[in-house]
Structure 1
Amino acid sequence: MQKALTYAEVGATREGPLPAGYDHVFRDVRLGEGRTTYEKAVDGLFHWQMHRAAGLSVRDAPGPAAPGVDVTLRLLFLSIPCRVVYTIDEPNRRGFGYGTLPGHPESGEEAFFVVLKDDGEVRFQLRAFSRPANFLVRLGSPVAKQVQRYATNRYVSAMQQVSRG
């Protein structure tokens, strides 16, 4: 039996406004140009290379990101269990969103998209909403926000690296 997600707004990172009552993160950065860059970025995203290049260990992922796939990310002593809740598979926009599972220090959802624009520009977009999952994390909220910002910056750097192949 699968564990339940730790938040109610499943899929809210797909598009539109993010839910109230959470901290929000938005990033939209240029990765490069052309279909080759786009395909490399998509492959790196779906095969967890972005996470590895960002310094996380990827555990338990049975394969590429797909709806229902549970993955445990690790950073030092921290266990970060997540479930892929949806994927986007359009000709020029691919990505996925995953949500937090019990044991994750935050409660919420994070989504990653690779977009090939009409002019050939490739963009990496990240959308997330989260809040502390327990009292200890809430107590350390300023530190948790710094960690979130650090992780987001690492994801951006990792995708820039992955998209170059």
Structure 2
Amino acid sequence: MLFLSWHRPSRKDQAACLNSCKDGEFNYDAKYKGATQKSPFSGERANDLKRDGFVTNHASVKLGSGKDVFLDGKKALQNWRHFQLPWAFVDASTPILEGTKVCVCAHELVAWIMNPLQVLYVDAKEPPKFPSRVDQNNHQQQAAFAFGSGTLRGHMLAGEEKFAVEWREDDSVWYEISSFAKPANFLSFAGYPVARLQQKMFAKQSLAAMERAVRQGSVDIHSQSAFSALHHRHPCT
């Protein structure tokens, strides 16, 4: 099964792709389902994946520091800002909920390929509501938002990918991508060197997209604050 389009896939095209795939019909070994939740991979799990032909990937970038940066990063991730690239995209209205099927559209040479996935898990640790960065027990705030998706039958690759925004104990905020993958069919096996280059290119561009999204969020917040201050000094009514 291969989902191709000679034009940028419409929502109707993407829906047809996803409707052709059964819920939970993943194209990789069930023993690895959800393995990205504990990534980056190391030790026995990393060895098992390598032995079964999977290649693991990990990339990260510091987005900034503080609660506002975390919230901007989380919002960007929920709106698929990390996957809005010139050559690849996900419909930004796709809900990030466990069980949701996702259509990743990627431009390959003269055609677009639609790759079906399904959200396996959503992990969310919300930041404390109090304003101080340190709580009563002198523990620094920490929060995270992450989700992982597994490839369904019809996807060119087999494996999982996780995207996460984490507010760490040192107050820094990071965006991370972790994945494991291998060719799912003869066509993807033949073109796997190109697929590996695309994975690296995607990681680089996705990190940059998240940095831009967070910067834009900060600009919007500062603009709103400036407008509120001006309105307070010189009210129109």
Q: TM-score normalised to the size of structure 1?
A: 0.91
Candidates 100, 122, 125, aligned match of 1:90: 125
Assess, with a 3 A threshold, how the Cα gap between structure 1 residues 54 and 113 changes in structure 2: closer, same or farther: farther
Q: Distance in 2 between matches of 1:63 and 1:140?
A: 29
Candidates 92, 108, 117, aligned match of 2:168: 117
SS class of match (1:74): strand
Q: Distance in 1 between matches of 2:164 and 2:70?
A: 11
Structure 2 unmatched runs, 5+: 1-21, 127-142, 218-237
Candidates 43, 46, 52, aligned match of 2:84: 52
Corresponding residue for residue 106 of structure 2: 75
Contact kept? 1:50, 1:159, Cα under 8 Å: yes
SS class of match (1:136): helix
Contact kept? 1:54, 1:155, Cα under 8 Å: no
SS class of match (2:177): strand
Indicate the larger mover: 76-85 or 45-54: 45-54
Q: Distance in 2 between matches of 1:136 and 1:28?
A: 30
Offset at 1:57? 3.0
Identity value in percent: 29
Contact kept? 2:94, 2:102, Cα under 8 Å: no
Candidates 144, 154, 163, aligned match of 2:195: 144
Q: Distance in 1 between matches of 2:86 and 2:149?
A: 17
Q: Distance in 1 between matches of 2:24 and 2:167?
A: 35
Corresponding residue for residue 59 of structure 2: 27
Q: Deviating runs (4+, > 4 A) in structure 1?
A: none
Does 2:38 match 1:15?
A: yes
Q: Deviations over 1:31-51 (max 9, x none)?
A: 111111111111111221221
Amino acid at match of 1:30: K
Corresponding residue for residue 156 of structure 2: 105
SS class of match (1:104): coil
Q: Distance in 1 between matches of 2:86 and 2:181?
A: 19
SS class of match (1:130): strand
Offset at 1:118? 1.7
Q: Which has the higher helix share?
A: 2
Q: Distance in 1 between matches of 2:194 and 2:85?
A: 22
Assess, with a 3 A threshold, how the Cα gap between structure 1 residues 63 and 90 changes in structure 2: closer, same or farther: same
Structure 1 unmatched runs, 5+: none
